[in-house]
Structure 1
Amino acid sequence: MDKPEPDRLSQILPRLAAGTGERLTVGELVSRMGERAHTALLVLFALPNTLPSIPGTSAITGVPLVYLSLQLALGRTPWLPAFITRRSFSREALAALLERAQPWLERGERYLHPRLAALTTARAQQGVGVLMLILSLAVLLPIPFGNMLPSLAIIFFALGLIEEDGAWIIGGLLVMLVGVVVFSTVLWGLFKAAVFVFLGAFGYAP
């Protein structure tokens, strides 16, 4: 008898907010995701940073992303410390976020299927984990809109690993490279602005 196909992420995520309590802990989310917890959690924590949300969200979601990416890079099972697993979300807010994200996930999953297997092997996953770790650290930086492209790249990588689709790994790499260009441009602009202010403070003409 053939083994049934596992549920896709767009089917798993809407069920996470099910229940009657007002709040849902990160620990409960991990237990509900089952065998896909690692990559699914990466998507879940990256999602809020790709959608208009409350300022400061990246500071909350970035720390779990760092932990999960590091463990993926080390080839370990997902684990989060107690200070993260005890953190809770409003069930209503989580349901609203997942409802907004679901159509986009469903659309993306139409193009997800196993291919370019060499990019999704266990060794390759560790390499992708290193890239995700770099992106997760970028998410933590307090740069306006600077966390959107890193978070999107993390989602591309995670979806590629979930469905063993190497093409999406390549897509994540391209998004990451675009993010590097944008990030470098923003940093250069901030540096020039700081120099301008510094020189102006001492009476030097720009």
Structure 2
Amino acid sequence: MTARNAPITRYTRRIASLLRRAAEQDQSHMTLSRLVELLGPRAHRLLLLVVSLFNMVPGPPGYGGTIAWTTCAIAIGMLMARPIRLPGLIGNRKLPLNVMVRASEQVVRVANILARFSRPRMRWLTGAAANLPYAILVIVVSVVMALPIPFINAIPNVGLCIIAFSMLNRDGIGVIVGLVATAIGLGVAIAIFVGAFHLGMAAVGSMG
């Protein structure tokens, strides 16, 4: 299988094409609910890749938390084997479409490069049976990433991106790499959280 015909290459080209088509209709922003509708309410894995990539793009205050809870909602839909339905508070959040289009085009280029090294292997780690543990992992990680602490979501999100990419490309080795990156990220996030807690307690103590 060539990189051009790899599953992940086809998926990322589809994302870019759909977003470009929406932008050509003179839309400036797109709600998260509309994004789910566009890519498919049952395209859990594809949407997990998209939102994890969006989480790497800097945004306004509250953006990271919104994406984290969106990730959690998608994973819950996967866990329950049901179509994705975002709560209004999250689903009505608008994202700038021009930024999404540029990001999707970059993703296509990166996917073309990564697909040269990633290929279907150890498929038992990426089959339908993996949906349950995958969804539970994403829910746990997204709840941690939703904590209002700066930089707490960066490394775990990289791990989720690798897993999502590998799941779509049926690459079990990539899933293992993503799990390691996620574990490291969670360890760093916990360390940051504990450090912030101790700093807060020290600050409160100094005021006493």
TM-score by length of 2: 0.81
Show the counterpart of 1:52: 58
Q: How do 1:23-38 residues align onto structure 2 when only pairs under 5 Å count?
A: 23-34=29-40, 37-38=43-44
Show the counterpart of 1:143: 149
**Cα distance change, pair 52–104 in 1 and its aligned pair in 2 (3 A):** farther
What one-letter code is carried by the residue in structure 2 that aligns with 1:167?
I
Q: State whether structure 2 residue 14 is matched by structure 1 residue 17.
A: no
Show the counterpart of 2:98: 92
CA RMSD of aligned residues (A): 2.5
SS in 1 for 2:135: helix
Give the Å deviation of 1:13: 2.2
Q: State whether structure 2 residue 66 is matched by structure 1 residue 64.
A: no
Partners of 1:140 and 1:82 lie apart in 2 by 16
1:10–1:106 Cα contact (<8 Å) kept: no
Show the counterpart of 1:175: 181
Give the Å deviation of 1:92: 1.5
Q: How many residues align?
A: 198
Per-residue CA deviation, residues 74-116 of structure 1 (Å, 9 max, x unaligned), is 3x14311362555433221222332344433332232221111
Show the counterpart of 1:157: 163
2:155–2:185 Cα contact (<8 Å) kept: yes
Partners of 2:152 and 2:108 lie apart in 1 by 23
Structure 1 spans left out of the alignment, 5+ residues:
none
SS in 2 for 1:186: helix
2:41–2:84 Cα contact (<8 Å) kept: no
Structure 2 spans left out of the alignment, 5+ residues:
none
TM-score by length of 1: 0.82
Q: Compare CA radii of gyration and give the structure with the larger one.
A: 1
Partners of 1:96 and 1:43 lie apart in 2 by 16
Q: How do 1:124-143 residues align onto structure 2 when only pairs under 5 Å count?
A: 124-143=130-149
Partners of 1:174 and 1:109 lie apart in 2 by 20
Partners of 2:45 and 2:186 lie apart in 1 by 23
Show the counterpart of 1:81: 86
What one-letter code is carried by the residue in structure 2 that aligns with 1:132?
V
Give the Å deviation of 1:5: 7.5
> Percent identity among equivalent residues?
24
Partners of 2:109 and 2:59 lie apart in 1 by 18
Show the counterpart of 2:198: 192
